[in-house]
Chain A
Amino acid sequence: MIDETPFWTLEEVIQRATDPVVVISTESVADLVESSLSFPVVTDFHLLPKDVTTLIVVGGGTMMDAAKIMSLNDGFDVIAIPSVWGSGAEVSPISVFTENGEKKHIMDDRLLPMARSSIPGLVERLSESLVQYGCGDAWSHAVEGSVSPLGILESRATGAALMNEMLEVGLKRDEQWFDFSARACLLQASTGVGLIHGIAHTLEPILGTGQSDGGWGHARLCSTILWPVFDRFIRDTEKWQSFTSEHMVDESAISATLHSLFNRDDYLAIRPHLIEAWKLILRHPLTRINCSLVRSGDIARFTEDIV
């Protein structure tokens, strides 16, 4: 398991962040951030002053990753406050970015934020669709991380415990999802993910990565692909069957949950792109560590109707 980013309360952030401190916030919640933190707030990386020692970043995975990558060059500390759950960027030593139309990632221990925190009220700002996409992203990490061929007994037990908690809370607007998401991300960072992420990372540059509800961001793509991949590539495997029985995970409850996240219209919208990009998807490193071998002929599993 990788080191865990400590959680600081907002009071601890205010007391312990080393001056000069600046906050960069996604615009939609900047008013809430300004009323919660006593530091200068900007909403654009170009507006950051040069002499920042601590950057508090309040935003989604893309913004947190951008701040983490900048910190490698500029040397400031990062305190991450996710405005939406799903990516787990606040606890991950990995940053994802797009270069020349290709999704790439850097893994470096220095990318691990100094701390993570939360701001009361952020969860109320999330739209229903972002709640769904975030839950889908976290479930994708939990499922793929739990049955990764690179996993060990300990990681599978961690995944099972997490899934049971996620099932108990259900797919709804709840602060606990920030914690579930962080733990799911830690799990997948220590084991690996698979085809869901291979597809999402391949299609993101093709479809664009808008962060609004209407864009095809990472979380929405993972949510869209989660059920088809689970249904066609995971749940019938010996690996999944032995995982659910050995760790007392309610398989039917998980199936029902993942199915309820499925948006058929979204799936039908991306399916032509998935079929066209299949060779690229097969070559993606994450596809190649899927829990079951993804074969060239498996594209047929997506061309059949999925309900």
Chain B
Amino acid sequence: MDSKNIGTVIFGGNVNENPSRLADLLMDVFLLEPDEYSLDLSKADVDTWDSLGTVAMAVGIQEEFGYHLSPEEAIGIESVQDIIHILTEEGVEFD
């Protein structure tokens, strides 16, 4: 896996695994190859980010990060950055 691409962060001697956990998750959710994923990815870039993808994303985020997206939140997400923003608000660190 390309850690530069997915944004694994090393700080204070600790590795923040959340960016790579999110990357692995979204690659499985949207059936992407590693070189197709980036932090700048948006819904418009991914043909599998359809209604089924949105359901799978909500299920996956709950399993991986323990946060239950409401249907409105899940439908409203337009990009990887939106997901990071929501999870950050819930206390998941990405920096």
Provide the B53-72 mask, 1 if CB < 8 A to any CB of A, else 0.
Answer: 10110111001000000000
A293 near B52 with CB under 8 A, answer: no
| Chain A 188-216 interface mask (CB, 8 Å, partner B; 1/0) | 00000000000000000000000000000
Q: List 24 A-B contacts (CB under 8 A).
A: A149-B55, A149-B59, A150-B55, A283-B31, A285-B52, A288-B52, A288-B53, A288-B55, A289-B52, A289-B56, A290-B59, A291-B59, A292-B59, A292-B63, A293-B25, A293-B28, A293-B29, A293-B56, A293-B59, A293-B60, A293-B63, A295-B28, A296-B27, A296-B28
- Chain B residue, CB-CB nearest to A296: B28
Q: Interface size class for chain B?
A: 10 to 19
Cα A282 to Cα B48 in complex, Å, equals 12
Residue interface bits A268-307, CB-to-B below 8 A is 1, else 0: 0000000000000011010011111101100000000000
**Complex interface: chain B residues within 8 A of A288 (CB):** 52-53, 55-56
Interface majority SS on A: helix, strand, loop or mixed? loop
**Top 10 closest A-B pairs, CB basis?**
A293-B60, A295-B28, A288-B52, A288-B56, A293-B59, A149-B59, A289-B55, A285-B52, A149-B55, A296-B28
A169 and B85 alpha carbons, distance in the complex (Å):
51
Measured CA separation A152–B56 after assembly (Å) = 17
Docked complex Cα distance between A289 and B51 (Å): 10
Q: How many A-B residue pairs have CB under 8 A?
A: 28
Give the docked Cα–Cα distance between A293 and B52 (Å).
12
The interface of chain B, by Cβ under 8 A from chain A, is 25, 27-29, 31, 52-53, 55-56, 58-60, 63
Complex CA–CA separation, A293 to B22 (angstroms): 13
* Contact partners of B28 in chain A: CB under 8 A: 293, 295-296
B25 / chain A contacts, CB cutoff of 8 Å:
293
When distances are taken between beta carbons in the complex, the residues of chain B under 8 Å from A295 are 28
Minimum CB–CB distance for A150 against chain B, Å: 7
CA of A283 to CA of B28, assembled, Å: 10
A95 to B77, CA, bound (A): 33
* Complex Cα gap A290–B25 (Å): 15
12 additional A-B pairs beyond A149-B55, A295-B28, beta carbons within 8 Å, are A149-B58, A150-B55, A282-B31, A283-B31, A288-B52, A288-B53, A289-B52, A293-B28, A293-B56, A293-B59, A293-B60, A296-B28
Residues of B within 8 A of A292 (CB): 59, 63
Chain A residue nearest to B29 in the complex (CB): A293
The B-contacting residues of A in range 135-161, CB under 8 angstroms, are 149-150
Contact residues in A for B56 (Cβ distance below 8 Å): 288-289, 293
